């Protein structure tokens, strides 16, 4: 800690000399993700199967642990090759062994792209398969998941009991119409205190996700957090 202080002080002096706004520089010293051996062990096993960043994965890891204080199940829509889903399932199995984790994907890439999406088109991220996810889950000995293959919610939500409620939802589908139909489906099924995470709010190439989140964030039945790692987080009141 003393070494970090010695390094930071010259940086601050140089910033003042050249009139650089030190507030733009991240000088936080507490970085628990670096020393979390279990998280890093699992992340290293799943990182080639996810497009989500290291810090976003750590946030998912922590939020799943937080969600154990609530009732309900867990769902991820936009699983791709299963990396973040496996991370979520591993943490859920540890803290909530009786919970189910639904992992949903078309396995044919993005669907429902439209006029709200400036860079995404149908079929992107189709370089995956259900077997990719199954193999990863098997490698991690995870038996608390159910994979739903097809467009969610239209083609696969009927495989979920209509009385099921959820405490956590991870949405990573990249485009407006797809995310909106998921949000409309999940919100009534989310328990009070339940958490929804949009993976791509901080990505300018996901203009549809930015638009949708900005439309949703001021509604009175939710709290909204924009994490500078790019996540948008909703908590149901």
Q: What is the dihedral of CA 4, 11, 22, 1, to 10 degrees?
A: 10
User: Rounded CA gap, 93 and 105, in Å?
Assistant: 21
Q: What is the dihedral of CA 135, 137, 138, 141, to 10 degrees?
A: 160
pTM of the model: 0.90
DSSP letter at 72 equals S
Q: In angstroms, rounded to a whole number, what is the distance separating the alpha carbons of residues 210 and 190? A: 21
Which CATH class name applies to 35-236? alpha beta
How far apart CA 51 and CA 27 sit, in angstroms, is 26
Q: pLDDT 10s digit of each residue in the chain, 237 long?
A: 444 444 555 655 655 555 555 556 667 788 999 999 999 999 999 999 999 999 999 999 999 999 999 999 999 999 999 999 999 999 999 999 999 999 999 999 999 999 999 989 999 999 999 999 999 999 999 999 999 999 999 999 999 999 999 999 999 999 999 999 999 999 999 999 999 999 999 999 999 999 999 999 999 999 999 999 999 999 999
Domain boundaries defined on the chain: 1-30, 35-236
């Amino acid at each position: 800690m003393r070494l970090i202080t010695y390094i930071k002080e010259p940086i601050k002096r140089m910033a003042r000399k050249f009139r650089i706004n030190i507030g733009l520089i991240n000088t936080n010293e507490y970085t628990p993700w670096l020393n979390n051996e279990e998280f890093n062990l699992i992340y290293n096993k799943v990182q080639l199967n996810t497009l989500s960043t290291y810090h976003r994965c750590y946030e998912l890891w922590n939020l799943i642990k937080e969600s154990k204080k609530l009732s309900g199940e867990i769902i991820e829509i936009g699983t791709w090759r299963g990396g973040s889903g496996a991370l979520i399932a591993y943490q859920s199995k540890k803290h909530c062994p009786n919970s189910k984790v639904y992992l949903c994907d078309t396995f044919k890439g993005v669907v429902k792209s439209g006029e709200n999406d400036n860079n995404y088109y149908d079929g992107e991220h189709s370089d995956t398969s259900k077997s990719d996810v199954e193999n990863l889950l098997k490698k991690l000995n995870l038996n608390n998941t159910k994979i739903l293959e097809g467009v969610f919610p239209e083609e696969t939500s009927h495989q979920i009991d209509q009385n099921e409620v959820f405490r956590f939802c991870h949405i990573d589908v990249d485009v407006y119409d797809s995310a909106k139909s998921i949000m409309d489906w999940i919100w009534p099924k989310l328990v009070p205190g339940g958490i929804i995470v949009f993976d791509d709010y901080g990505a300018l190439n996901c203009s549809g996700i930015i638009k949708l989140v900005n439309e949703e964030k001021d509604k009175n039945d939710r709290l909204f957090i924009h994490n500078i790692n790019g996540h948008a987080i909703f908590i149901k009141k």
